[in-house]
Structure 1
Amino acid sequence: MSPLHVQQLRDETPGCQSGIVHFNHAGASLPSQATLDAIIEQLQREARDGPMEAGEHGAVQVEKARRAAGQLLNAPAASIAFASSGSSAWSLAFQALGPWQPGDRILVGRHEWGGNLASMQVAVQAGARVEVIPCDATGAVCPLALESMIDARVKLIDLTWLPANGGLINPAQAIGEVAKRHGIPYFIDAGQAVGQIPVDVQALHCDVLKSAGRKHVRGPRGTALLYVRPDFLQHLNPAQRDVFSAPWTADGFDLRNDARRFETSEASFALLAGLGNALQEMNQLGIQQVWEKISQTSERIREGLRQIPGITLHDLGTHQSGLIAFNLAGWDAFELKRRLGVQRINIGANGVAYTPWDMQARGLASIARISVSPLNNDEDIERLLTALKALRA
């Protein structure tokens, strides 16, 4: 991706014109003006014609978004559902997998997202056990260790692909191959993957995958996507139903035979119109090109951080994503984030709750997090590194 191409993206993004350097794309990225326009246009239509009356046009936009999401994930459009957040999407699918029985086993990576672990407490209360798959020497989830844990009681394998507290890229495809070989349901939390790295649900062999819209896809807050493998739908019995997810037929209320069984009749057409535009922009840009640019930018930043005394990087794995976890000696991570914010430089900061088992295993109370996007240019990098050098103890 050339500097000219990056500048074009920045010119189309209002947040890049504000003087703020944004390195918190893993928290929420910056939407384009076209994405904002799509949201506003639907809102204006609802205000002008009536919210319900504008629903027909809104429903068309939702289906455009569904097709765009399918294209990005290499999935049929019918296998995509939309939700209000990644956590709610994952929880809906997880709860639909029950009922849980005493002795059921759920196998997860050490880096599992805290929100998913919280949802699993429903299963734990029913007598199921959540067990951690050991890591390999690099700190990634180990497929060989997983293989040795498999027995008839394993009801789910769940993987947080790119953990929130660093640049690790877990071996999602290799884990999927183990799950497929043993016929065990496999869920992937791809909240930090979709829009950052290529995601092919066919190659991953996953049954369920979710991601938020506000992160690397650059969609609005309050949106998320959920992929459900078509042949796996029969194993999912959602507790939440209405006349959209379970339409009335001559035989009563029957669940839809596609992923829309996880949706309801009430949705924000405006937000989904914005998400659809963001997904279309990502497809037009090309996810491989995006990933190459993120890799180049994040490696430059990592190299710059290594030159600053007092900075400790917390990378795991053999290849890293665009999430850069670090600490600066003498600084609390959240206070560092605040101080940089005063200088109009946005970064993230995570506590133990985000990835509790991994943070505890590594003795980390908190980490500061830089997360990059193709929107970031050389000037952004220089401002960030200069500010950190000035703050070192």
Structure 2
Amino acid sequence: MDIGRIRAETPATARRAYMHNAGAALMPVPVVEAVKAHVDLEAEIGGYHAAAEEHGRIEAVYDSVARLLNAHRDEIALVENATVAWQMAFYSLTFGPGDRILTAEAEYAANYVAFLQVARRTGAVIEVVPSDGTGALDVAALERMVDDRVKLIAITWVPTNGGLVNPAEAVGRVARAHGIPYLLDACQAVGQMPVDVAAIGCDMLSATGRKFLRGPRGTGFLYVRRPLLERLEPPMIDHYAAPWVARDRYELRPDARRFENWENNYAARLGMGVAVDYALALGLDAIRDRCRLLAGRLRAGLAEVPGAVVRDLGRDPSAIVSFTVEGRDADAVVAGALAQGITIGASKPPSTRIDAERRHLPPVVRASPHYYNTEAEVDRLLAFVRSVARD
């Protein structure tokens, strides 16, 4: 991996140490140029003609995302963001009184409130699978909880805080063995590590473009496995998702685009396609290894800072490093770092309420290095944390 070239294609790295990639990563120049070029084209010839002229490139985005996930292009829907992707999948499922939804302790707030809404509407029941000794979802406990009333297993693969990587493939084996639909939130995983839906065994997967994938905001995608796709009707449709074929009848599209609608941001889609191709060209294995190397360096350094506490979980943590500094508010630490030209973030307990309450977590500082960061930038952050801890 040519870090010098990558940083040259990410000009902001010359001005700041940016380690907030779990929030929104820095877009590389080719992504920015793709977005700008299409906006310029729309300004010149109009949105409809621009879309028609760029039809081939727009269609190629489906192929790129399919390659990223080891899926088929007809299993991919391109949508506005990961939340829309997840919601379109979840709200397509049918629940009744007593039906059980199984999820993990570190489930993300946006997903859990949707569980609560459906439980209130239908009488379905939400049950949280306990964690094992490392903090990851306990697969043996999941297996014991399965019965014929379980209608969905839905987990976040890489939660928003805690560094955890849940055992997505092992959960997939349980779901497949019992014929239970499996919805995987891969928002923090895509772009950080290889993602193979065939190996994972998930039926549905949602993700965003803006995080580790380094695409524009306002982009996301949904994967739905063919056998399940044919049985799902989206909670909302328009004439793109379901053409109006007769006065009293519509027909859902046969592919995953039944989860899309007619109007969308083509410039952003093209940017996301370039971001996917950029990651594929670098190689997701190489990206994962580089991310884990930098995150490991940060965790090891934080462990040596008096007053700093690493709050991460799991046997093989992700590139999301969560920590607190004794006597220091997380937002104040983030603001102090920004003043020093270091961009990091914070995560509040309501984002992962069950995990935060179980571990009595306060708001935590969240640093998420990416492959374009350097060891020197990690050391710079460590020096800042040491100075804060001493004050």
TM > 0.5 fold call: yes
Does 1:204 find its partner at 2:229?
no
Equivalent position amino acid for 1:193 in 2:
A
The AA in structure 2 aligned to 1:116 is N
* Matched ranges for 1:110-125 at <5 A: 110-125=105-120
Q: Match for residue 384 of structure 2?
A: 387
C-alpha distance in structure 2 between counterparts of 1:249 and 1:61, whole Å: 28
What is residue 127 of structure 1 aligned with on the other side?
123
In structure 1, what is the equivalent of residue 31 of structure 2? 35
Q: Distance in 2 between matches of 1:244 and 1:13?
A: 37
Q: Which residue of 2 aligns with 1:6?
A: 3
Distance apart, 1:239 and its partner CA: 2.1
Once the two structures are overlaid, the 10-residue window that deviates more, 195-204 or 335-344, is 335-344
Question: Is 1:103 equivalent to 2:87 in the alignment?
Answer: no
SS of the counterpart of 1:121? Answer: helix
In structure 2, which of residues 306, 319, 338 is the aligned counterpart of residue 322 of structure 1? 319
Gaps of 5+ in 1: none
Q: Which amino acid aligns with 2:324?
A: N
- TM-score calculated relative to the size of structure 1: 0.97
Q: What percent of counterpart residues are identical?
A: 39
Q: What does 1:150-169 correspond to in 2, within 5 Å? A: 150-169=146-165
Residues 368-383 of structure 1 mapped to structure 2, 5 A cutoff? 368-383=365-380
Structure-2 separation of matches of 1:265 and 1:362: 44
Pairing partner for 1:268 from 252, 265, 271: 265
Q: Deviations over 1:158-178 (max 9, x none)?
A: 111111112111111001100
Among 351, 354, 373, which residue is 2:351 paired with? 354
Letter of the structure 1 residue corresponding to residue 315 of structure 2:
T
Structure 2 residue 15 is matched with structure 1 residue 56:
no
Distance 1:265 1:177 in 2: 36
Supply the distance in 2 between the matched residues of 1:65 and 1:14 (Cα, whole angstroms): 25
In the alignment of these two chains, the number of paired residues is 388
AA matched with 1:301: L
User: Offset of 1:382 from its aligned partner?
Assistant: 2.1
Structure 2 equivalent of residue 86 of structure 1: 82
Residue number among 162, 185, 188 corresponding to 2:184 in the alignment: 188
Question: For structure 1, which segment, 233-242 or 89-98, has the greater mean C-alpha deviation from structure 2 after superposition?
Answer: 233-242
Structure 1 counterpart of 2:171, from 165, 168, 175: 175
8 Å Cα contact 2:324-2:330 kept in structure 1: yes
5 Å-filtered alignment, 1:157-306, equals 157-249=153-245, 252-306=249-303
3-state SS of paired residue (2:48): coil
Residue 105 of structure 2 aligns with an amino acid whose one-letter code is R
CA RMSD of aligned residues (A): 1.2
Pairing partner for 1:77 from 73, 77, 80: 73
Q: Which residue of 2 aligns with 1:333?
A: 330
Structure 2: which 5+ residue stretches go unaligned? none
Residue 367 of structure 1 is matched in structure 2 by 364
Pick from 6, 14, 19 the counterpart of residue 23 of structure 1.
19
Judge conservation of contact 1:61–1:272 (CA < 8 Å) in 2: no
Q: TM-score by structure 2 length? A: 0.97
d(CA) in 1 for partners of 2:54, 2:238: 19
Q: Distance in 2 between matches of 1:64 and 1:215?
A: 21
1:206 & 1:326 partners in 2: Cα distance?
Answer: 31
Equivalent-residue separation in structure 2 for 1:344 and 1:252 (angstroms): 58
Measure, in 2, the Cα distance between the counterparts of 1:14 and 1:262. 36
Instruction: Output the amino acid matched with 2:251.
Output: D
Contact 1:97 1:235 in 2 (8 A): no
Contact map agreement 1:59 1:269 (CA 8 A) in 2: no
What SS class does the counterpart of residue 47 from structure 1 fall into? helix
Instruction: Return closer, same or farther for 1:267/1:59 CA change in 2, 3 Å cut-off.
Output: farther
- Aligned partners of 1:135, 1:122: CA distance in 2, in Å? 24
- How far 1:352 sits from its partner (Å)? 1.3
Take 1:241 and 1:87, find their aligned partners in 2: how far apart are those partners?
Answer: 17
CA distance in 1, matches of 2:9, 2:232: 41
What is the alpha-carbon distance in structure 1 between the residues aligned to residue 217 and residue 11 of structure 2?
16
Q: Which residue is 1:307 aligned to?
A: 304
Which string of whole-angstrom CA distances, capped at 9 and with x for unpartnered residues, describes residues 302-343 of structure 1? 111111111101121111110111001111111111111111
Deviations 1:184-230 (A, max 9, x none): 00000001111111110001110000111000000000001111001
